[in-house]
């Protein structure tokens, strides 16, 4: 059983990728809709939530945990790995960093993400270790999450804001851009249009799904079983609006199951 968690429903972009690449596995997803957003919260708070979410997924029987949330992947991984040392974790930052390294020619890479992701400097540290010649230029893009959740995917306002966020990165001459947030793949086309053809995009949902698939194929204990195939989605708060957002991210109608926040906190 594959456990996936996110601050909300944006992490379903990762689930969508997993579903296209894997058959015969049960996926359980937890979206922390009661405590979303994570992207404006402190690293300490996000780490505490990430521990609780992981405990909940493990309690349900998850054998691997995918941290679909970019903010949690940027801030909580060392504590998560220490706290649950036996659990194989997958996060979105490392595979995105590797992909960006493989794509860049001029070693100038851009990053957009939530404020907390950018402030964590996780990418700066990883690039410095892997290739000190890499120049990373980051810009927080906090308005994009609410615009996407409102479904304003092609509105002129969204186009203008995307353009504005990309200007300082383009001025630095980046040739690669990391879409450092669960939501951005939904407007990938628009971002590509505003970035221009010369800039290559890194979609973390694709990269993390590839690393999960590779791990599963290499580990015989994760045998596919078509009878187990399926997706179960839990949320810590439920409104009709969340149902609509989930449908947008997953591309189809889904049932959301509400779990009390106390159950997460006390998992």
Residues that bind ligand DGL (CB under 6 A): 6-8, 10, 36-39, 69-71, 114, 117, 145, 181-183
> What is the smallest separation between the CB atom of 106 and ligand DGL, expressed in angstroms?
27
Annotated catalytic residue within 50, 66, 69, 92: 69
- Rounded Cα–Cα distance for residues 139 and 191 (Å): 14
Is 230 designated active site? Answer: no
> Of 113, 71, 70, 63, whose CA–CA distance to 89 is shortest?
63
CA angle, corner 181, sides to 159 and 134, nearest 5?
Answer: 95
Q: Which residue's CB is nearer to ligand DGL, number 13 or number 176?
A: 13
Q: Which residue's CB is nearer to ligand DGL, number 144 or number 169?
A: 144
CB 173 within 8 A of CB 156: no
- Rounded Cα–Cα distance for residues 138 and 113 (Å): 8
- Rounded Cα–Cα distance for residues 74 and 148 (Å): 21
> What is the smallest separation between the CB atom of 24 and ligand DGL, expressed in angstroms?
27
Q: Which residue's CB is nearer to ligand DGL, number 222 or number 236?
A: 236
Q: Which residue's CB is nearer to ligand DGL, number 25 or number 49?
A: 49
Q: Provide the sign of the torsion angle of the four alpha carbons 42, 82, 13, 29, taken in this order.
A: negative
Annotated catalytic residue within 181, 195, 250, 256: 181
Is 69 designated active site? Answer: yes
> What is the smallest separation between the CB atom of 105 and ligand DGL, expressed in angstroms?
27
> What is the smallest separation between the CB atom of 178 and ligand DGL, expressed in angstroms?
12
Q: Which residue's CB is nearer to ligand DGL, number 181 or number 235?
A: 181
> What is the smallest separation between the CB atom of 43 and ligand DGL, expressed in angstroms?
12
| Helix, strand or coil, per DSSP, at residue 191 | helix
- Both tokens of 143, joined, read 């308005």
- Residues serving a catalytic function are 69, 181
């Amino acid at each position: 059983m594959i456990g996936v968690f996110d601050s909300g429903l944006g992490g379903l972009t990762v689930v969508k990728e997993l579903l296209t690449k894997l058959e015969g596995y049960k996926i359980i997803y937890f979206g922390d809709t009661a405590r979303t957003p994570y992207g404006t919260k402190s690293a300490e708070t996000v780490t505490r939530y990430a521990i609780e979410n992981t405990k909940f997924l493990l309690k349900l029987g998850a054998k691997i945990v995918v941290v679909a949330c970019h903010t949690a992947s940027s801030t909580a991984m060392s504590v998560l790995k220490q706290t649950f040392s036996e659990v194989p974790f997958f996060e979105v930052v490392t595979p995105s960093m590797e992909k960006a390294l493989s794509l860049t020619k001029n070693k100038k890479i851009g990053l957009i993400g939530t404020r907390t992701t950018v402030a964590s400097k996780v990418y700066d540290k990883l690039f410095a270790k892997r290739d000190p010649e890499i120049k990373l230029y980051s810009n927080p893009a906090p308005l994009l999450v609410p615009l996407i959740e409102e479904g304003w995917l092609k509105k002129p306002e969204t186009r203008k804001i995307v353009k504005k966020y990309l200007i300082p990165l383009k001025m630095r001459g980046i040739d690669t851009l990391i879409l450092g947030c669960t939501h951005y793949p939904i407007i990938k086309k628009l971002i590509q249009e505003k970035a221009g053809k010369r800039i290559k995009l890194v979609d973390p949902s694709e990269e993390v799904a590839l690393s999960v698939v590779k791990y599963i194929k290499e580990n015989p204990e994760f045998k596919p079983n078509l009878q187990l195939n399926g997706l179960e989605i839990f949320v810590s708060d439920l409104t009709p609006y969340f149902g609509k957002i989930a449908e947008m991210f997953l591309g189809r109608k889904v049932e959301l199951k509400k779990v009390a926040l106390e159950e997460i906190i006390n998992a």
